[in-house]
């Protein structure tokens, strides 16, 4: 579809900004109409005739968010000077397809408009909603959705960071599925296990294919002999490189400076997939989703009690959504038709120390607490006592924090690492 077929409505009450945007979009060969308020837009146009509405959030007598309700079939790009995470998340929850912060670069606006108009919105929603790890309405996951959309519109290399079980590979696939490369190949290279021959064949396939996406799973396990080839791959404009890691690359760079160039090359955009314990408000929605899914697969109804939801919410889920899903499926397979999952059913599959871990997490993340000094002493003592026998990931899980948080606390509290 040519740009000239796209009709855009710009709604902005500040004349200078509105006229600037209109001229900018007209120079891109779009057909552009303008209005100063929601009321003016409604009286002057049939909103459903537009391909995109670009609106300021705060307007005289209304809000740019009103267009989401008034024209539900038309994508809405919100401009806001109040781009705190909270307002951005609320906009996305209401149904805006994207937001852009004022003041913005002209090229940024053009790219956002282009991405929205040329993206298949239904396939984008399918790409997100079909992935368990992206379900939810928490601040953390909505912000992740917004970043995925922006990242997918670029050719910059992307690093997806997250703990085991957060679905990094599926997130990479979602980025590919909403990008301009969605009809092209998605080539996966498992860095730790790829032999020299497998690695070479995968690179040759990517270069032969031309336009494609290459997903470098577990980039921290890449052999040093393959490092130069990956750096060169990120410079190929036809190939979109997406890498994943469950490890802290900052720590790895300190331990092995030779890898700095590699991680710089694959880390133009970094997406942190939140651990499930960091978005515990999504657990109820996820649990009900999995219960409904397993009920359909088993062909008989199963339900879950409110008490069980509380147990799930209080557990720290070191295996993240993968562990949550597997736990509910295991429980469901032991039940009869019409059963309701109770806390007793769950205790056989998850550790009984969920409440203890939750309390520890809350305590350790309270910075303005009068007991902060004793908490710091406890933290230091626990790490010193256990770091020789536990890996960093296990230490972090037992303390109810992320591995990155553990690293930051080590630095802040000057906790020495064990001598090897």
- Taking only the tens place, the pLDDT of each residue in 240-299 is 999 999 887 777 666 666 678 898 999 999 999 999 999 999 999 899 989 988 888 888
- Residue 11 near residue 53 (C-beta atoms within 8 A): yes
Using alpha carbons only, give the angle 31, 34, 37 rounded to the nearest 5 degrees: 150
Question: CATH for 3-118?
Answer: 3.40.50.2300
Q: What percent of the chain has pLDDT over 90?
A: 37
Hey, do 3-118 and 122-274 end up sharing a CATH topology, with the first three levels equal?
Answer: yes
Which value, to the nearest 10 degrees, does the dihedral of the CA atoms of residues 138, 141, 145, 147 take? 120
Place of tokens 């790490």: 383
How far apart (Å, rounded) are the C-alpha atoms in residues 151 and 177? 12
Average pLDDT, the chain: 82
**18 or 98, which is more confident?**
18
Average pLDDT, integer, range 213-232:
93
Backbone angles phi, psi at 48, to 5 degrees: -70, -10
In 60-151, beta strands by DSSP E: 62-63, 76-80, 98-101
Q: What is the pLDDT of residue 372?
A: 37
Q: Grade residue 368 by pLDDT with cuts at 50, 70 and 90.
A: very low
Three-state SS at 327: helix
Exposure class string for 174-185: b at 16+ Cβ within 10 A, else e? bbbbbbebbebb
> To the nearest 5 percent, what fractions of the chain are helix, strand and coil?
55, 15, 30
Q: What is the pLDDT of residue 308?
A: 93
CA nearest to 24, candidates 112, 88, 98: 112
- Residue 219 near residue 159 (C-beta atoms within 8 A): yes
pLDDT in tens, 178-189: 888 988 999 999
Q: What is the pLDDT of residue 25?
A: 94
**99 or 195, which is more confident?**
195
Q: What is the pLDDT of residue 130?
A: 55
Q: What is the pLDDT of residue 363?
A: 32
Q: Grade residue 124 by pLDDT with cuts at 50, 70 and 90.
A: low
How far apart (Å, rounded) are the C-alpha atoms in residues 187 and 183? 13
pLDDT exceeds cutoff 70 at 362: no
- Residue 277 near residue 316 (C-beta atoms within 8 A): yes
* 52's tokens: 């995109």
Three-state SS at 161: strand
pLDDT exceeds cutoff 50 at 66: yes
Average pLDDT, integer, range 125-146:
73
pLDDT exceeds cutoff 70 at 150: yes
Q: What is the pLDDT of residue 377?
A: 64
- In sequence order, the 6+-apart residues with CB closer than 8 A to the CB of 109 are 21, 24, 54, 100
- In sequence order, the 6+-apart residues with CB closer than 8 A to the CB of 108 are 100
CA nearest to 317, candidates 135, 142, 165: 165
pLDDT exceeds cutoff 80 at 172: yes
Please give the CATH topology (third level) of the domain spanning 277-347.
Answer: Helicase, Ruva Protein; domain 3 (1.10.8)
Please give the CATH topology (third level) of the domain spanning 122-274.
Answer: Rossmann fold (3.40.50)
What residue ranges do the domains of the chain occupy? 3-118, 122-274, 277-347, 355-413
Q: Grade residue 366 by pLDDT with cuts at 50, 70 and 90.
A: very low
CA nearest to 195, candidates 241, 226, 232, 230: 226
- In sequence order, the 6+-apart residues with CB closer than 8 A to the CB of 26 are 32
How far apart (Å, rounded) are the C-alpha atoms in residues 158 and 2? 29
Q: What is the pLDDT of residue 260?
A: 86
Q: How far is CA 260 from CA 106, 147, 255, 266, 267, in A?
A: 33, 24, 10, 10, 10
Q: What is the pLDDT of residue 336?
A: 82
Place of tokens 């998850």: 350
Three-state SS at 299: coil
Among 125-139, 283-297, 298-312, 357-371, the least confident range: 357-371
Q: What is the pLDDT of residue 12?
A: 95
Q: Grade residue 60 by pLDDT with cuts at 50, 70 and 90.
A: very high
Pairing mode, if any, of strands 58-59 and 62-63? antiparallel
pLDDT in tens, 43-58: 999 998 899 999 998 8
**216 or 334, which is more confident?**
216
How far apart (Å, rounded) are the C-alpha atoms in residues 413 and 380? 8
How far apart (Å, rounded) are the C-alpha atoms in residues 330 and 328? 5
């Amino acid at each position: 579809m040519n740009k000239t077929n796209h009709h855009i409505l710009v709604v902005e009450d500040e004349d200078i900004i509105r006229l600037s945007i209109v001229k900018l979009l007209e120079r891109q060969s779009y057909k552009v109409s303008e209005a100063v308020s929601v009321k003016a837009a409604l009286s002057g146009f049939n909103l459903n005739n537009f391909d995109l509405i670009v609106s300021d959030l705060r307007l005289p007598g209304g809000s740019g968010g009103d267009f989401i309700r008034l024209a539900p079939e038309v994508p809405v790009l919100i401009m806001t000077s109040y781009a705190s995470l909270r307002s951005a998340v609320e906009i996305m929850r209401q149904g805006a397809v994207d937001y852009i912060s004022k003041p913005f670069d002209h090229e940024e606006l053009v790219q956002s408009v282009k991405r929205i108009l040329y993206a298949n919105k239904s396939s984008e929603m399918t790409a997100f909603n079909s992935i368990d790890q992206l379900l939810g309405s928490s601040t953390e996951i909505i912000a992740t959705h917004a970043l995925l959309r922006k990242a997918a519109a670029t050719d910059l290399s992307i690093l997806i960071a997250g703990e085991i079980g957060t679905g990094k590979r599926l997130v990479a696939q979602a980025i590919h599925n909403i990008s301009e490369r969605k009809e092209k190949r998605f080539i996966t290279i498992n860095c730790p296990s790829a032999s020299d021959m497998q690695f070479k064949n995968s690179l040759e396939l990517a270069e032969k294919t031309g336009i494609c996406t290459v997903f470098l799973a577990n980039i921290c396990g890449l052999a040093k002999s393959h490092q130069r080839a990956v750096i060169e791959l990120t410079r190929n404009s036809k190939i979109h490189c997406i890498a994943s890691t469950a490890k802290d690359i900052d720590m790895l760079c300190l331990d092995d400076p030779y890898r700095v160039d590699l991680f710089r090359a694959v880390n133009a955009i970094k997406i942190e997939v939140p651990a499930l314990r960091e978005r515990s408000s999504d657990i109820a929605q996820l649990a009900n989703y999995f219960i409904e899914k397993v009920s359909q697969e088993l062909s008989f109804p199963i339900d879950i009690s409110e008490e069980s939801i509380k147990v799930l919410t209080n557990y720290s889920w070191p295996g993240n959504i993968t562990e949550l899903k597997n736990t509910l499926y295991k429980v469901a397979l032991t039940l009869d038709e019409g059963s309701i999952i109770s806390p007793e059913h769950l205790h056989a599959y998850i550790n009984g120390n969920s409440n203890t871990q939750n309390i520890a997490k809350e305590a350790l993340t309270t910075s303005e607490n009068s007991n902060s000094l004793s908490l710091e002493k406890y933290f230091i003592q626990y790490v010193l006592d256990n770091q020789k026998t536990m890996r960093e990931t296990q230490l972090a899980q037992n303390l109810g924090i992320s591995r990155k948080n553990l690293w930051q606390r080590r630095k802040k509290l000057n906790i020495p690492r064990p001598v090897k």
